[in-house]
Structure 1
């Protein structure tokens, strides 16, 4: 072969090879090849039924972002933000609303400008429990079907309204002293906690295993705690702007003071004012259980505390079970209360102070450990109009309360239509439950009070005078048993209570 021809052939071959290699580096569109998009889901999240959860997916798309689509299980999902078209990185944020307890999933598929896709799946562990750790400063609703855990002393602050639906369960964490848990409704705040006979609102301890599903099924009793276990959390405290009769440490009259159980550093604990018609909201069909945790030497939180609460507030159909301190205590105010049941109170079942000027009508007390009633009056110069307690049934059997009614020289109560039974005797057969020896002592009492129209089942061998001292026996009609009683509470309205479903009211007509 001619040498020149050979060189020409080789040169032509090498040029053709280079052209082929160059063409092989181009894609069909004549542009540089890009990577497929990627999407990353977050670590497993926690959610609550019916409460929206935000899920952030991180994406990259070197060809440019085009679109997203998604699917969800055990909930509903919506894209609420995404990258702009053509962006090469960013986030897709999805709002997922769970529909049932269990596990929920959200699968996100992204597409880039080249039509390539990638997907990722987020997992959500769904419960019906919400932990509350911050004060409530805006209008808030706690819903039926959920359990709310009080992570400390939670205040509904002035201007805010907390609505609690019937069937909701509220549980307090364990704690004493400054760590005692409680729900505190400050002055100018509102609590609308309105249950019903078939769906009461349960306030209890975190140790109580009762669930909203139990309540919905009509099982209102605790599944694991006995009805005499107390002091596991605090209680419910409602404060208002109605008048009180109080003095400071210097003996000067004051119109507002700090409620017991709340540190002075917490201004949400102030109560009292000059608005008798003040409203703190509406509280109906609630059961408060296992409360009264200790906050200091000899100082516990009541089941329900009403401090300076005005008569614009609705309080009715209340049950307090196993509170370490008092069942219900009033500190002044003008609120009227109807249908109260106190069972196994560690101190007084009903306690009144600071010239409360309202009414308590239809009350049942079962097995108080101390007094059934401790009835005090003004602590300052303001006296008000006094308060009344009518239509009460008091069943003392069980805990051997020291006194049935404890009055003093400041008492400003008018009581009537009272039925007492289950009165105890000591080991010597003597009366063990008595009216306070301060009764009636009208000479020392400048406020005036009265206790009238009493019926009582007196143990064999004893008389009314053995129990109702100071001449009060003249107001007592002895009856053989409660079936012949003509006074006392209408017990039928308490059919919804734990006390009833446990059988504790069977001896008094339910």
Structure 2
């Protein structure tokens, strides 16, 4: 990924030695440093902890002062592993956990000998990692069904969070979730044709492959699902994000998902065609929405709030060094609250062709943040019904100047570059935002939901974010 990550690199590098030391080998990996350990399914009876663990997981003792039975996932999941909601039970990953084998990029002809895995997670379940290299990879051809509900979201988080010791600014305490699919990507090796089953690439952060020939590929369901305190830098510019969606197809459901306090991006898309709705991105230390490698999906209803003491861009839309066909992400109904300093809200580069509709971009009046920065002449952007309230509307630099960006912005309908924010609670529309005429989204892409307003949250009665997410309102902690 592109980016200016030197400060973050310094912050995270100090964690690397500890995280590397905790990386387990094959089979059931050993517990990460600091985890309580224990024997078979009847071992340990901490106060409130369940007596045993569900089939397919390993009892490794208790955590949270003996109140929770720690049931560890195997290093590889084949067949179906269900994680039921049980009193006194929490689940954990140690090292890399693979869901299935890599079945290749051709859904009609899976790799010989490769075995599918399915990870099914009940509403209300909590799962943790203890170190940076504790993470989950859902391989091509396998699936995750993490289907919570508004009252019982599924939470993947850090051990510190489970034990109540994660601070409000804690990032990078475990790896995160990587989902790999068989949809088209544009960073094919050599002369491999775009759209072919062998057009594949190795995903950032781990040695697993994504991409292929099935744009309707189904990697499962992420719904009412939170990832917290995640992200880890393997090498400079090679990181685990909160959630990585690489080559993920349109058959996959991503809806009501939050990433909170990732040390890298909130969600990064590498190619693929998956559509996402109802996202909450808070406290992430790099970009919140990062697209690359020919991504062609839609993203609608998004609240972004940058962290107070760090963070980078809200969007980085890229295109794998101007490969063809370009990334064409389509964003709608985004409300983005930028940070006081650092990089700009919406950064476009490397030949992407990005579209932004019905959205609100803001930054604090005391900041130096620009709403939009375009970094090269081959990059394109479309704007319609976008309301901006930033100290600087368009970044003036040696790449694409402010006047050229302004002309691109002005070519769209119902755009405002120098508005005054009337948002309440940072993300709920006020009079100025609701005065903007909305763009008809279903005429652009049927994957969008039809709306008559801009921004993520129309008014105080619009509560799609309430209950399952955290950290947006006073007293709501993660």
State the TM-score, normalizing by the size of structure 1: 0.65
TM-superposition CA deviations, 1:15-52 (whole Å, max 9, x none): xxxxxxxxxxxxxxxxxxxxxxxxxxx99941755747
Which one has a bigger Cα radius of gyration? Answer: 1
Higher-RCO chain (CA-CA 8 Å, sequence separation at least 6): 2
TM-superposition CA deviations, 1:308-359 (whole Å, max 9, x none): 0000001111100110110000000110000111111111110000111110
Superposition RMSD in Å: 3.1
- In structure 2, the partner of 1:489 is 456
TM-superposition CA deviations, 1:109-161 (whole Å, max 9, x none): xxxxxxxxxxxxxxxx9953202242111211011133111011101014121
Tell me if 1:198 matches 2:139. Answer: no
Paired positions, count = 361
Matches within 5 A, 1:239-278: 239-248=180-189, 255-263=199-207, 269-278=208-217
| Contact residue 464 and residue 473 of structure 1 kept, 8 A | no
Q: Distance in 1 between matches of 2:67 and 2:159?
A: 19
Q: SS at 2:218's partner residue?
A: coil
State the TM-score, normalizing by the size of structure 2: 0.69
Tell me if 1:225 matches 2:166. Answer: yes
| Contact residue 235 and residue 288 of structure 1 kept, 8 A | yes
Higher fraction of strand: 1
Tell me if 1:342 matches 2:281. Answer: yes
Q: SS at 2:76's partner residue?
A: coil
Change (3 A) 1:465 1:330: closer
Matches within 5 A, 1:55-204: 128-145=69-86, 146-158=89-101, 159-175=116-132, 180-204=133-157
- In structure 2, the partner of 1:377 is 319
Matches within 5 A, 1:302-451: 302-367=241-306, 369-377=311-319, 379=321, 381-383=323-325, 386-397=328-339, 400-426=341-367, 431-438=368-375, 441=377, 444-445=378-379, 448-451=380-383
Q: SS at 1:435's partner residue?
A: strand
Change (3 A) 1:44 1:334: closer
TM-superposition CA deviations, 1:243-295 (whole Å, max 9, x none): 100044x68666111111113xxxxx111000011101111011101111221
Matches within 5 A, 1:206-217: 206-209=159-162
| Contact residue 376 and residue 407 of structure 1 kept, 8 A | yes
Q: SS at 2:471's partner residue?
A: helix
Q: SS at 2:258's partner residue?
A: strand
| Contact residue 53 and residue 69 of structure 2 kept, 8 A | no
Q: Which runs of 5+ in 1 are unaligned?
A: 1-41, 54-97, 102-124, 211-222, 264-268, 506-510
